[in-house]
Amino acid sequence: MRVRKFGTAAVVTATALVLAACGGGGAGSSTDTSAPDGGSSSDGGEAPAAEDITVGVAMPTQTSERWIADGDAVKAGFEGEGYSVDLQFANDDIPTQSQQVDQMITSGVDLLVIAAIDGTALSGQLANAASAGIPVISYDRLIRDTPNLDFYVTFDNFAVGVQQGTSLLVGLGVLNADGSEADATGPFNIELFAGSLDDNNAGFFFDGAMSVLQPYIDSGVLVVPSGQTSIDQVATLRWQQEVAQKRMEDLLTSTYSGADKVDGVLSPYDGISRGIITALQNAGYGTTIADGLPIVSGQDAEIASVKLIADGVQFATIFKDTRKLAEQAVISGNEILAGEEPEANNTTDYDNGEFVVPSFLLESDVVYADNIESLLVDSGYWTADEVASGQSD
């Protein structure tokens, strides 16, 4: 692992951040998790003060409240450790993010934390970081096709997909919320949506969901009338709401003429879900599930979608507590800056095309209308007023 040789005195041990309800400290066993270029550790020497250490944080966009929250939480966490932070958002533009990372390297940051727009587009920048001795943490989205990556912090993305598929089956009445078989036998017409193909997570989400849905498709309980079942057919570029809405409109026009109706839609992200729901409502499917709107899944517990769930419009979302992800990034960053191997709980699943990247995976939860308060309000993620208004304060 490439690390600048800071003594451990330079690094304050990761403590409870000024982030409400942060859990998820580093845990789990670690094996030989060094990248292919070999490992190095601190050899002591004069250690810079914490305020002389700068962390570069590159986030993909400010068009999603999720990524704004992530950027702010990571910045606050590292600043809470006494470091300076250079936080940049790239507005979903790959050249902009590449330029931002280049600038961080040129300015001499001591650690890079990157949530990539396109996981294959930063190999040149990471080669430059390696040459400068700057370690890199891949944040939530795996950076691919480069050996110059030190660690990956994320959620268990395959499990997230399983939860998405399960929530769709629960909404259709095929499964109970505990995963046991329910009474409904179908057949139910469903359509499938996936995320952006340039995001490595999209494949994990889709594969996880299909591991749950495919047996019911094979048995005839679920039917995909469009025939579009591969990720290449159902992907949504840049996870954009308007792209998803247009595709749903096209599916309704091409496939659901006459008496055929959609019963459910697999959606991997709340913004995509809202685009799908808009298309369905505009096509006369009703305004809520109670009056005919199909079951639609989601992800990220965005406040607009949480209100839709509370109002009986969207059926479910997946809550990934990004406060915990930010905290884990800080914990792992502290370990790297101290010249230590960051603690991993997965060293087998996240092959970036060059090597299996040591990773720390966090757990997620399914949000339904009846557990919004316990999962989101009681934890301080959203307030009751924010849920009621559908807007963050």
Structure confidence by residue, pLDDT tens digits, 268-287 = 999 999 999 999 999 999 99
Query: How high is the pLDDT of residue 257?
Result: 81
Q: What is the model's pTM?
A: 0.84
Q: What is the pLDDT of residues 102-129, one digit of tens each?
A: 999 999 999 999 999 999 999 999 999 9
Name residues whose C-beta falls within 8 Å of residue 227's C-beta, 6 or more positions apart in sequence: none
H helices of 256-339, where? 270-282, 303-310, 322-337
Place of tokens 């990372």: 101
* Buried-exposed string 111-137: b where 16+ CB fall within 10 A, e elsewhere: bbbbbbbbbebbbebbebbbeeebbbb
**Which pLDDT does position 46 carry in this prediction?**
55
pLDDT at 21 over 50: no
Choice between 23 and 133, residue whose per-residue pLDDT is larger: 133
Whether 277 is in a domain gets the answer: yes
Same domain, 201 and 296: yes
**Co-location of 269 and 167 in the same domain:** yes
Residue 31: per-residue pLDDT: 36
Whole-angstrom distance, CA of residue 252 vs CA of residue 275:
13
Instruction: Please give the pLDDT value at position 157.
Output: 95
Asked whether residue 130 falls in the same domain as residue 182, the answer is: no
Question: How many domains are contained in the chain?
Answer: 2
Range of the domain at 171: 158-320+367-389
Lowest mean pLDDT: which of 157-171, 231-245, 246-260, 357-371?
246-260
pLDDT band at 29 (very low <50, low <70, confident <90, very high): very low
Alpha carbon distances (Å) from 125 to 40, 134, 136: 21, 11, 11
Asked if residue 3 is part of any domain, the answer here is: no
Q: What is the CATH number of the domain that holds 184?
A: 3.40.50.2300
Same domain, 311 and 329: no
pLDDT given at position 47: 57
- Asked, for residue 2, whether it belongs to a domain, the answer is no
Q: Are residues 281 and 344 in the same domain?
A: no
- Whether 1 is in a domain gets the answer no
pLDDT score, position 41: 37
Same domain, 78 and 175: no
